[in-house]
């Protein structure tokens, strides 16, 4: 120990620390003071335990606790007894509090909204930047540039819903007259058949009634049971 006394002041050199009127030898990095020196003994040192560190020669009796990389951060360099942990932002986060070479706090990159595109992707030190779509373009918020609306007509389709800044045009198949013809013609034929059958049935009924009426006038008597054939039977003759 080298003591330099100037008047009443005690000055220790750079590798020592002062305790009372003694200049004690510092402990090396990764160690803490177990017992201070005396006039007869040197400083006794003790290694830092796991989860603690001291990165400089020191006269401390306690080691510093290792930094925990909190939410939004990950370990860039793990803590040792001679150096603290160094943290950096996780993917999708950026640092908002950088001290020395370690990030202390991070925030998540914000997402662009529909109608906006990503003009600058977020980094470990900067947030995402968004810009608005213009003209006949759109973006759902995840594109790095706005995309032009689909021209339905140029693809042989018809437009169902026009596009806007947040969504593309919606297209669908064209509906021409051929499909309607396929449906209408069978319906017309079916209706015509029904009309013909109905007319035939009505004609047969009318004819049968005339026959029955004529036979009653000539014979001036009621028609026999053999003459009154069931309508269905008459239709089948």
Residue 4 in this model has a pLDDT that exceeds 60? no
How many domains are contained in the chain? 3
Same-domain status, 58 and 88: no
**Is 90 exceeded by the pLDDT of residue 121?**
yes
In this prediction, residue 217 has a pLDDT band, given cuts at 50, 70 and 90, of low
86-108 exposure pattern, b = at least 16 Cβ within 10 A, e = fewer: bbbbeeebbbeebeeebbebbee
Beta-carbon contacts of residue 161 (< 8 Å; ≥ 6 apart): 169, 170
Q: Quick one: 70 and 58 in the same domain?
A: no
Same domain as 166, residue 113: yes
Examine residue 163 and state whether it is found in any structural domain, yes or no. Answer: yes
Q: What is the mean pLDDT of residues 41-70?
A: 97
Q: Which residues of 53-78 are buried (b: 16+ CB within 10 A; e: fewer)?
A: bbeeebbeeebeebbebeebbeeeee
Q: Judge if 140 and 128 occupy the same domain.
A: yes
- Which one, of 141, 120, 142, lies nearest residue 129 by Cα? 120
Structural domain boundaries enclosing 142: 109-171
Rounded Cα–Cα distance for residues 112 and 222 (Å): 97
On average, the pLDDT of the chain sits at 87
Question: Quick check: is 19 in a domain?
Answer: yes
User: What is the pLDDT confidence band of residue 175, given thresholds at 50, 70 and 90?
Assistant: confident
pLDDT of residue 10: 86
Predicted confidence band of residue 1 (pLDDT cuts 50, 70, 90): very low
Per-residue model confidence as pLDDT tens digits over 89-108? 999 999 999 998 999 999 99
Amino acid 228: pLDDT = 46
Q: Is it the case that residue 65 has pLDDT exceeding 90?
A: yes
Q: Would you say 114 and 140 are in contact if contact means Cβ atoms under 8 Å apart?
A: yes
Residues 126 and 149 in one domain: yes
Domain containing residue 149: CATH number: 2.10.50.10
- Is 83 in the same domain as 44? no
Does one domain contain both 139 and 153? Answer: yes
pLDDT, residue 216, reads 59
Residue 2 pLDDT greater than 80, yes or no: no
pLDDT beyond 60 at 208: yes
Mean pLDDT confidence for 10-39: 96
């Amino acid at each position: 120990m080298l003591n330099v006394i100037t008047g009443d002041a005690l000055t220790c050199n750079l590798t020592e620390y002062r305790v009372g009127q003694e200049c004690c030898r510092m402990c090396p990095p990764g160690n803490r003071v177990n017992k201070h020196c005396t006039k007869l003994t040197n400083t006794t040192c003790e290694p830092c335990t796991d989860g603690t560190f001291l990165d400089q020669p020191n006269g401390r009796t306690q080691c510093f606790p290792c930094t925990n990389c909190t939410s939004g951060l990950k370990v860039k360099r793990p803590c040792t007894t001679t150096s603290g942990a160094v943290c950096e932002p996780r993917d999708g986060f950026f640092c908002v509090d950088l001290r020395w070479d370690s990030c202390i706090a991070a925030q998540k990159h914000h997402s662009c909204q529909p109608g906006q595109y990503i003009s600058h992707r977020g980094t470990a030190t900067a947030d995402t930047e968004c810009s608005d779509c213009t003209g006949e373009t759109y973006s759902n918020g995840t594109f790095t540039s706005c995309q032009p609306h689909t021209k339905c007509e140029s693809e042989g389709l018809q437009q169902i819903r026009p596009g806007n800044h947040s969504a593309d045009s919606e297209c669908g198949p064209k509906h021409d007259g051929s499909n309607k013809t396929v449906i209408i013609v069978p319906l017309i034929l079916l209706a015509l058949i029904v009309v013909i059958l109905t007319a035939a049935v009505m004609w047969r009924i009318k004819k049968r009634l005339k026959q029955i009426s004529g036979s009653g006038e000539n014979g001036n008597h009621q028609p026999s049971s053999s003459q009154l054939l069931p309508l269905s039977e008459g239709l089948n003759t």
